[in-house]
Structure 1
Amino acid sequence: MTHPAALEALRAAIAEPPIEYRPELRWWLAEGLHTDATIRREIAAAHRLGFGGMEFLAMPEENIDEARYGWGSEEWTHDSHTIVAETTARGMSFSFTSGTNWSNANLPTITPDDPAASQELDVEYEPVRERRVGLLPRIDLGADRGEGGLPGSRVTPKRQHLVAVVAAAVTDSGPTASGLSTPASDGAATLAGADGAAGTTTVQALTPVIDVGTLTDLTPLVTGDEGAEALDWSAPDARDWRLFVFWMHGTGQTASPSASVNYTVNYLDRDGVDAVIDYWREVVLTDALKADIARNPRAQMYMDSLELNTWGEGGMFWGRCVAEEFRARRGYDITPWLPLLVRSAPLMAVSTRYRFEPDAAHAIEVAKVRHDYVATLTDLYIEHMLQPFADFLHEQGIALRAEISYGLPFELTRPGVAVDGIETESLEFGSQIDAYRLMAGPAHLLGKQYSSETGATTRNHMLPHRFYDQIINTQLAAGITKTVLHGWSSPAGAEGSTEWPGHEGMLPMFSERFDTRQPAAEFYPLWNRAVGRVQQVLRRGRPRIDVGILRTDHFTDNSSGMMFYDGERRIPDEVAYGRMWMRNRQNHWWRDLGMQDAGWGYEFFDGSLLLRDDVVFADGVVQPDGPGYQALIVYQEALDADVAARLLEWARAGLRVLIVNGASELKRLETGEYFYYGAAAARTPGLDGRDAELAATMAALKVLPSVAEVDEPARAVEALRALGLIGYHEFAVPNQNVLAYERIDGDLTHVYVYHFLYETGQDTDVELRLPGVGTAYQLDQWSGRFHELGAARREEIGADRSEVTVVPLRLAPGEAAVITLDSSAGYSLGESATAPAIVAELSDWDITVESWDAGEAQLIEEDRGLGYATREVLPTTAVTRLRANGTALAPWKDLDGVGPEVSGVGEYRTTVRLDVVPDGRLVLDLGDVCGGLGSVSINGGAPIGFDTSAPRVDVTGLLRTGSNDVVVRVSSSLSNRLKARGYYERIPDVSALLSGLPYRPHHVPVRDYGLTGPVRLLVEN
């Protein structure tokens, strides 16, 4: 087949996808224990297996000396330099890893009492009846408050600084005011039950209520020097008054492993980032390291989840600049409002519960103040941490990639302006498409690389590779085009704590490993090449997204993927991911599925991003050189007045705007809480006095011809179509099984389509409608070839009779495809599609299984002349070949001669005889491979990989008349072997631990492995 020039150039580009498009790895090192030989061996192996880069960090390792091997030690520094040099020499990327729980984000040069260390605002209470005289109550800094929900320990600070004293009349017991919402909407929405129906639910039935009119700032009345602060004050009446005494002190949070104590830095005051920059400039970035960085065009700093803890009763992150910055940015003093900001927030910001609520008459006002506080924190995180850190890194030739805002009460999308790459992760979002859409907006709007930490679950070594393929497919459908696998660890580790299948790194109960211990590793080169091809295609040109949804949330539930319980019953990850939520057709944030079923693309972002100078409306769309949103949706009750004014300005120039009342969205999945919004854009989010201005703007907006308003999300598609919106791509008939994502690449249009109901669906037929006329092709990601889709046809749609190309597809559950329309090729009228014909059924097999088990461990020693020797244990794998007694296909556990204890790689051999090689496209359909990676080889040729959900291999041109040898190899997980060895009996279920439940091991069934067929040779026309 001769392809047009544009498609031929693409085919040549992806024939061997460059290394920058391949999946990368998170590497959990055993602190600085690894020998140089181990480091070089692991990087060489990762490169040989086709991975594109290594993101490395130090994990705690038992039975070693942290003073010798922890972060900051000579050994860790030496290993870091070795990794940088070895990856750079191979053209791989490397990433330093930072984040609150990784030591290199924290510092040994500070103490909890330094301004550069993380600070919190704590509170002491004192009841007041009539008059109180004397010293103010202080925080007991050494009090035992139990263990926090996050890793790391706490070192007690020594100093506390008085910030404010506020008095208020308090009702000691009473309901939360009118059931008004807490964090996720920043107030004023009604909290709904799990079904999202309208109604009210009290979050805390007996939360004390403050009479807001009595809030009194007594700070100017405080006397005495620091350390002896006193107050003489009399309550004005006989009600129950309470004194709130606010002190700032260090959180004392530390990170390990490190050679010395490393303290969490301050993310709000400039002191924190300045201390980090100074340390890296003076200690870490040696001349030799800088030289290696200069040779690597993909050197990165990766900022992981912001797993910051507060310790005290106040629960607020603070800094010495916060009050001043709040006044400058919000126009009023935060001090009198502090009692209504006091909170508890275990583990993640979404768990925030305010300890006091306002009287009903002031509920909206207090919601606005709470919004202003967290909006200010977001500002400071961007301006005082991310931007100066990025500027410093850029000077060193290092890009900044970050899981922005993760875990803290920061808005999720605004910080995207300060980083080079925006990262999400599959674990905390449970691989939900709506969650990935949350940060797709800023990534596409701002032109940032969108990537994901992929593969972390609580079921390591248990699940088939297909499970992880489905995570990647979901992410690609949301516009994520860089996969960072979570993760890799060397099998070698410390003596006394390392056993087969190897050193765990990220704890044996947490996250998968995509390294050489996996039987699937044999097939990683094929798989990485295939994923790399798709990622390369989907990074070309620019995205095309139909609808942008304005959404502000400082308390996003990014722990929705971690807790899987039905009462006390643990729901396995594979069941939750494969059968619940989106796979049960239930999205979390934009809950109506009409746009999704139409095939339209949509994503979320904070409306303030529209105010940036580099975000424009032109040619009828927002950001024409980016996502090109054809319409914007407003659905939350709060909308910034300046954003509304921008919408009005653009709507007058033709922008489509849809105002949606009556929407609901997820607040917190673990507790089944949702929010219901009455009228969209009914108020401003903050206490800015601009509600009337907003109302006037919205009134002017609603009368414009390009604006519509509906009273339920289910009418959104109808309303947008009435405004003239036709999707960049859409389905000719709504389809409930398929997601789609588009890129415009000159004369080429690429659409990624994915049948996401991989456990709950059947084969689906979908007709993809693409604007314009051209020839449609489908990419075979395993070979790099494009084959023409002859059944595509031309149609005219709409009042203007626009021409479109309609591409019919059939997708199996979990199957994904890349469709490319070449508009430079003109329209090729193909023949009508016919069902594939069966040429032969392959049913008589010679079956051998290479059974993996523990082999003899090796001892590795290294003496670098420093006065000691480093020792590692390297477990090895023993492989035993088991011949099945029979020729029929069945799972290994049911094969005589193999059995239920076996994990490894199965090899299946047969011969197919052809009297004539049929014309047309020949496909070997393997039927079912139990989700395992594998390969097919025909007549001794190079192995070809296959999709774990739709294992079909294009064998056109590989068959001959007469006898043809066919070899199929299929891998398994290690689950059955490890179950037989009792491995899982010793590993606690981490989800139970995080949920505060008693110790329990995983329940691990015996799993089906291998090729089960039916295997058929098909001819397609």
Structure 2
Amino acid sequence: MTEPETSRPLERHRAALQDPPIEYRPELRWWLAEGLHTDRTLRFEIDAAHRLGFGGMEFLAMDEQAIDHARYGWGSEEWVHDSQIVVEETTARGMSVSFTSGTNWSNANLPTIDPDHPAAARELNVVTEDVRAGTGRTGALPRIVLDEERAESLLPGHRVPPRTQEFVAAVAAPVVSDGGDGAAPVLDADAVLDLTSRVVDGTLDWSPDAGDDRAWRLFVFWSHGTGQTASPSVGVNYTVNYLDRAGVDAVIDYWRSTVLTPELRALIARNPRAQMYMDSLELTTWGDGGLFWGASVAREFRERRGYDIAPWLPFLTRSVLLMASATTYRNQPTEAQRPTVEKVRHDYVETLTDLYIENMLRPFAAFLHENGILLRSEISYGLPFELTRPGPEVDGIETESLEFGSQIDAYRLLAGPAHLFGKQYSSETGATTRNHMLDHRFYDQIIATQLAAGITKTVLHGWASTAGAEGATEWPGHEGMWPAFSERFDLRQPASEFYPQWNAALGRVQYLLRQGRPRIDVGILRTDHFVDNMSGMYFLDPDGRRIPDEVAYGTMWMRNRENHWWQDLGMQDAGWSYEFFDGSLLLRDDVAFADGLVQPDGPGYQALIVYQEALNPDVARLLLDQARAGLRVLIVNGARELKLLLTGEHILNARATSRTPGLDGRDTELAETMAALHAQPTVAEIDDPAETVSALRGLGVVGRAEFVAENRFVLGSLREDGDLLHVYLYHFLYETGEDTVVEVALPGAGTPYRVDPWSGAVAEHRGVRLDGDRTVVSVALAPGEIALLTVDRSQTPAGSRPAQRETVQRLEGWSIAVESWDAGPDELIVEDRGLGYETREVRPTTAVTTLPVDGSGLRPWTELPGVGPEVSGVAEYRAEFELERAAEPGERLLLDLGSTAGGLGVASVNGGEARGFDTSRPVVDITDMARTGRNTVTVRVASSLNNRLIARGYYDRIPDMGLLLLGREGGHQTQVRPHGLLGPVTVVRER
């Protein structure tokens, strides 16, 4: 097809759209079998990933069965050797390489410490006594039984009991109510006594005042190591402290002395995209206190918050299921005292966030930068840290599809700091509790959702070599990330044949969406120390039955038009973009205000929304100052947001900005500032979130890529690149929606071009009109489909009607050959590096049997004669069609495949280029391949391995990770799925 002449600004992107550079292509999380893999396997896997079009490898050691961990675990000579090969081979191919850090990965932890070491993770534990007047108590304080048996944590790793404990505080409080029926005891916060100074040599003699007939409870607080470990490693690797500087200093010392060998440093220096990836913070405590602690916490709390933490410790003790979002406080105050205690709880977690930033992230990032390594991090979540404040401290901010259930509102939570400070925003993508079960379209929808939120770097979760330990590896291959957890995007997949086209398509989208700057209409101030990152792991119906991941992702929450955090959908349906961040980030020197915009050279928020009940008084003063200078602020009362999906808890913010978050005594000051703010003409207040759009319009806000009419099916994102506007649109109701046409109004007059992600072709878009000083583009989208457009504002549009389509022919009489995949013979790989032993790997191979089906209509493989429900693999379809005339100038010929059952594939005509397609709307442009007369169509479509693995009994012995994470038992359930080209297949002429 001959492409129209494009303007100069768009021309500079043409080469990258034809062949997207490697840095824009999706990357991989690679689960290595510790240091077991042979050099041959490592080089083979990296070469394969590169050949399939992936842009980088993020690697980590996963526990492998049936091998010697002392020989192959993290920290061993084999692991160091393998790490160097990974860095060498990726660098040689221009791929990025990422080391992996995080609580559950050994290289975040140290074999040089033990639970009692100053650098080890610590917790504040508690033991209690009941005391009454008259009897009192005397003698030694009760201590923690450090080796007491308790229920195992749901997080990986085991606990090694510490040997020592340090006394921190003794606090007594009257018991108002002892709870019952699962309720927490209620204590009188106003009568708490700090008895710490009366403790002498570990003993305390104390009695309530004579005549005080209340029941008192004595809380004795001890600090000790958590004893949390990570495996696999050569020795026991202990989790370091993320709050005290000793923790990161010990990590830095170990990396300098042991990990970063001269050879590895030299290799890293050659790779401009070497990174350290910090995974989610899966730290855990063991005791009844449940508090993360360190030697500096009490002192830092006093200096930062202005009062002592000790008297409040009974109200901070907590229990937690898996992640901080599931925090339950063990003691509560009276209802009248609750506001004060909530402020103290805020001050504690705010202090923890401060220490995480200052004592972990900053020094760790500085050390990495000294060694040519960037820091990419899943900041905060998993622990009681504020979610967005650490954003400026890292080079890249990462989220993940697993813990947030691929929800657009969850991705918006971290989009704020990423865009506000110009950070690369990426996501670990594809981790679900389904393995080999789902069609490729499911994962395409996760990626499409992330792109709509401003994520422009996909890191697929993940890749594993098919080769693994002898005696522990069977077809389809070494699992790496456990057989019940996460998809594999490696050579075991039938769809891997088409990964080059898929990766190139994603590379083109990610390339264009990294150009220029993001333009976000509205910033929402939101503080959250306990963000619900378990929302993506709760799949139970009201009767406790397991909901399949694909059903939850496809039909619930956002797909049922229910967002978690900003629940009113008015801005979304208007096409307005918005995202969240903690208001204190606005106080930073690197945040600018001008012309009524926030960070005008970045996201350029046109307005800020304040809706939570607590607001930092310094932020309120900033809002007042900027509102006087033209910043638009909307105060929203009555907004409801998710607290914890697991328990169905939500927070209703009845009156916005009604208090300060901490115990700072500044509530009156805040009220005075807010009164002055309300008086500004650029400020509005509403009592119903449903009035948000109309209130913002009343303040003069106009969406930069707003919909001409409300559209409940489409999400979008916008990048401004000089005269160019790059527009991404996505029909997100991929299971529950219907075809839609959306009209998008963009600032300025320009000519729109449609970019085909699958070919890189750029063609003038049909369906454009001018509306005053705006360009209105009309786009038709099927459920799950994406569209990528660029509007060139250096060219004045002529205006045109939407494209008209005519079906030329429907293809029938298909010749089908299904290539059925099953286990083949194992290949033994033996390596002798001259160290006195052999390393042995088994690589299962795949046997492919071709099952021909002649002259058939298009039906699922389960219904094709000679194929049936046990088959997985790739099918090739051939048919012919007659064309009266080829495409004339201004026309396109399209091959519409109808449906491929969500399978990835390619299509070609007359032996031309094999082109991929959107799995939600599989249409291929064949203008340059089709000719007058007879034409031959070839379509290849892949399936998942689901049906073959069911037939082999693969799932019979695999537990359901989704249930295990909730502390329940159950097997991995799936069902036979339809695969193949389902059609109808038609040739369409577009004018």
Query: What is the aligned counterpart of 1:841 among 806, 810, 816?
Result: 810
1:871 has 2:840 as partner: yes
Moved more, 315-324 or 786-795: 786-795
1:365 has 2:344 as partner: no
Equivalent positions of 1:257-656 (< 5 A) are 257-566=232-541, 567-656=543-632
Aligned to 1:1015: 985
1:292 CA displacement: 0.3
Aligned to 1:41: 44
1:906 has 2:875 as partner: yes
Q: In the alignment, residue 904 of structure 2 is paired with which amino acid?
A: L
Deviations 1:203-255 (A, max 9, x none): x862111111111111111111xxxx101111122210111100000000000
1:520 CA displacement: 0.3
Q: In the alignment, residue 205 of structure 2 is paired with which amino acid?
A: D
SS at match of 1:985: helix
Is the 8 Å Cα contact of residues 947 and 976 (structure 2) preserved in structure 1? yes
Q: In the alignment, residue 590 of structure 1 is paired with which amino acid?
A: W
Aligned to 1:77: 80
1:616 CA displacement: 1.1
Query: What is the aligned counterpart of 1:234 among 204, 207, 210?
Result: 207
- How large is the RMSD of aligned CA atoms in angstroms? 0.9
Q: In the alignment, residue 150 of structure 2 is paired with which amino acid?
A: R
2:623 and 2:305 map into 1 onto residues whose CA distance is: 22
1:484 CA displacement: 0.1
Overall identity of the aligned pairs, in % = 69
Is the 8 Å Cα contact of residues 885 and 896 (structure 1) preserved in structure 2? no
Aligned to 1:178: none
SS at match of 2:170: strand
SS at match of 1:924: strand
Is the 8 Å Cα contact of residues 754 and 817 (structure 1) preserved in structure 2? yes
SS at match of 1:850: strand
1:834 CA displacement: 4.6
2:734 and 2:767 map into 1 onto residues whose CA distance is: 25
1:174 CA displacement: 4.5
1:592 CA displacement: 0.2
Query: What is the aligned counterpart of 2:961 among 963, 977, 990?
Result: 990
1:957 has 2:924 as partner: no
1:885 CA displacement: 4.4
Aligned to 1:14: 17
Deviations 1:762-816 (A, max 9, x none): 10111011111010111100111111123200012xxxxxx11111111000001
1:1002 CA displacement: 2.3
2:221 and 2:653 map into 1 onto residues whose CA distance is: 34
1:492 and 1:875 map into 2 onto residues whose CA distance is: 7
2:562 and 2:445 map into 1 onto residues whose CA distance is: 17
2:442 and 2:132 map into 1 onto residues whose CA distance is: 63
1:918 CA displacement: 3.4
Deviations 1:610-653 (A, max 9, x none): 00000011122000111000000000000000000010010000
Deviations 1:574-630 (A, max 9, x none): 000000000000000000000000000000000000000000111220001110000
1:816 has 2:819 as partner: no
Aligned to 2:942: 971
1:898 CA displacement: 1.2
Q: In the alignment, residue 459 of structure 1 is paired with which amino acid?
A: R
1:173 and 1:132 map into 2 onto residues whose CA distance is: 20
2:349 and 2:656 map into 1 onto residues whose CA distance is: 21
Is the 8 Å Cα contact of residues 769 and 777 (structure 2) preserved in structure 1? yes
2:931 and 2:130 map into 1 onto residues whose CA distance is: 91
Query: What is the aligned counterpart of 2:191 among 187, 207, 214?
Result: 214
1:112 has 2:81 as partner: no
1:329 and 1:53 map into 2 onto residues whose CA distance is: 42
Is the 8 Å Cα contact of residues 60 and 100 (structure 2) preserved in structure 1? yes
Deviations 1:638-682 (A, max 9, x none): 000000001001000000000000110001111111111111000
1:303 and 1:605 map into 2 onto residues whose CA distance is: 20
1:724 CA displacement: 0.5
Deviations 1:159-207 (A, max 9, x none): 00000111111124349xxxxxxxxxxxxxxxxxxxxxxxxxxxx8621
Deviations 1:903-923 (A, max 9, x none): 000100112222311320111
1:127 CA displacement: 1.0
Is the 8 Å Cα contact of residues 154 and 967 (structure 2) preserved in structure 1? no
Query: What is the aligned counterpart of 1:146 among 151, 155, 166?
Result: 151
Is the 8 Å Cα contact of residues 644 and 697 (structure 1) preserved in structure 2? yes
1:12 CA displacement: 2.1
1:205 and 1:597 map into 2 onto residues whose CA distance is: 42
Aligned to 2:750: 774
1:987 CA displacement: 0.7
Moved more, 913-922 or 536-545: 913-922
1:838 CA displacement: 0.9
1:519 CA displacement: 0.3
Is the 8 Å Cα contact of residues 814 and 854 (structure 2) preserved in structure 1? no
Is the 8 Å Cα contact of residues 641 and 650 (structure 2) preserved in structure 1? yes
Is the 8 Å Cα contact of residues 750 and 794 (structure 2) preserved in structure 1? yes
1:902 and 1:133 map into 2 onto residues whose CA distance is: 75
2:802 and 2:567 map into 1 onto residues whose CA distance is: 36
Is the 8 Å Cα contact of residues 766 and 803 (structure 2) preserved in structure 1? no
Aligned to 2:695: 719
Is the 8 Å Cα contact of residues 885 and 897 (structure 1) preserved in structure 2? no
Q: In the alignment, residue 808 of structure 1 is paired with which amino acid?
A: S
Q: In the alignment, residue 880 of structure 2 is paired with which amino acid?
A: T
Give aligned pairs, total.
Answer: 981
2:642 and 2:182 map into 1 onto residues whose CA distance is: 21
1:873 CA displacement: 0.4
SS at match of 2:807: strand
1:231 and 1:986 map into 2 onto residues whose CA distance is: 56
Is the 8 Å Cα contact of residues 341 and 354 (structure 1) preserved in structure 2? yes
Deviations 1:19-58 (A, max 9, x none): 0000000000001000000000000000000000000000
Aligned to 2:224: 249
2:854 and 2:483 map into 1 onto residues whose CA distance is: 35
SS at match of 2:876: strand
1:78 and 1:1006 map into 2 onto residues whose CA distance is: 43
TM-score norm. by structure 1 comes to 0.95
Q: In the alignment, residue 69 of structure 2 is paired with which amino acid?
A: E
Aligned to 2:70: 67
Aligned to 2:853: 884
Q: In the alignment, residue 787 of structure 2 is paired with which amino acid?
A: A
SS at match of 1:824: coil
Is the 8 Å Cα contact of residues 885 and 895 (structure 1) preserved in structure 2? no
Moved more, 638-647 or 356-365: 356-365
2:976 and 2:318 map into 1 onto residues whose CA distance is: 46
Question: Structure 1 residues 873 and 205, CA, compared in 2 at 3 Å: closer, same or farther?
Answer: closer
Q: In the alignment, residue 955 of structure 1 is paired with which amino acid?
A: I
